[in-house]
Structure 1
Amino acid sequence: MNPVELILLGRTLMKIGEQALPTPASGRHSGGERTVVIVMNDVYENPGTTVTEVAQRTGLPQSAVSGAIARLREVGSVLAEPDPADRRRQLLRRDPDVTPRRRTVAAAGITDAVAAALGEHDPADLAQVLAALETLGHWLSPQTIVRLRAEATEQL
């Protein structure tokens, strides 16, 4: 596999992930799920963070992070509180109350979405691909991106 093929694989995997997300109560996805998931994960891993800090860590534009935070606050996944040191800033953290949507997404599986992506396939192939995804998920966690960003910064 070369770098271009890896980038294209990543794009395909993101699309399968989006397909695996359960449909919200509104009956349709509102778009930007990737950004929302990335931002949500960052806030959950860094409680007491700010929009600016999330943007710096994720490499996403601040406007995209702000939009994702607004959606996450609206659905009850993230709370924002004024920063005691600077009342203009908001400190973000996970809402400890688990909403029905969060429960639904956490319980969702990927098998059907991966099977649909594979099309006509042998069940053994599906099992092999699911096992490979589990292995990749173990070794290439969201922390991988943090390490890659740190290494890139050190090289500058």
Structure 2
Amino acid sequence: MNGLELLVLGRTLMKIGGSALPIAGGPSLPASVRSVLVDIAQHPDSSISEITARTGFPQSHVSASIARLIESGDVVSDADPGDRRRTRVKVNPKAAGGMLVITDTPVDEAVADALPDTSALPEVLAALETLSRHLNPSHQQR
């Protein structure tokens, strides 16, 4: 595999991941912003640096996504009472009822849909688990 092939594969994996994400905040949000929203829902009262570490997105993207989500009313922020310099974010409890359904959605179906031959699904899922264990920032923190 060369660098270009890896970039193309990465883009394909991002599309598959985006299709497997819950429709958090509605389908009009880009998958990368939905990813930040899902992380916030799963980890309320997180700081921007904590979200950055878990998602692997650049801090600038996380900050821009949060600003967009605050503007749309999907999340709210406040100062951390223990450290007023730190901002915490959480899903807005007043967000449109039922709009945000967070589940731990497996990627199996999305990966199967992307494969020309689903008999390879177990092998591909195992390979993704291996890659995640070694390269996913949230797994490296453990």
Q: Which category describes the TM-score, using the shorter chain as reference length?
A: 0.5 to 0.7
* Structure number with bigger Rg: 1
CA contact (8 A) 1:39 1:69 kept: no
Task: Describe the shift of the 1:68–1:36 C-alpha distance in structure 2 as closer, same or farther (beyond 3 A).
Answer: farther
CA contact (8 A) 2:112 2:118 kept: no
RMSD: 4.1
1:3-152 matches, cutoff 5 A:
3-24=3-24, 26=26, 29-38=27-36, 41=39, 44=43, 47-49=46-48, 58-59=57-58, 61=60, 65-71=63-69, 74-75=73-74, 78-82=75-79, 91-94=87-90, 104-119=101-116, 121-123=117-119, 125-143=120-138
Identity of aligned residues (%): 30
Q: TM-score, normalised by structure 1?
A: 0.58
CA contact (8 A) 1:49 1:91 kept: yes
CA drift at 1:32: 1.9
> Match of 1:31, as an amino acid?
L
- Greater relative contact order: 1 or 2 (C-alpha under 8 angstroms, separation 6 or more)? 2
Task: Describe the shift of the 1:128–1:21 C-alpha distance in structure 2 as closer, same or farther (beyond 3 A).
Answer: same
Matched residues, number? 131
CA drift at 1:45: 10
> Match of 2:77, as an amino acid?
A
Residues 25-84 of structure 1, C-alpha deviation per residue, up to 9 Å, x if partnerless?
85xx11322144257648x5993447xx96xx843546x733434426833xx5411467
Question: By percentage of residues, which structure has more helix?
Answer: 1
Q: TM-score, normalised by structure 2?
A: 0.63
SS at match of 2:46: coil
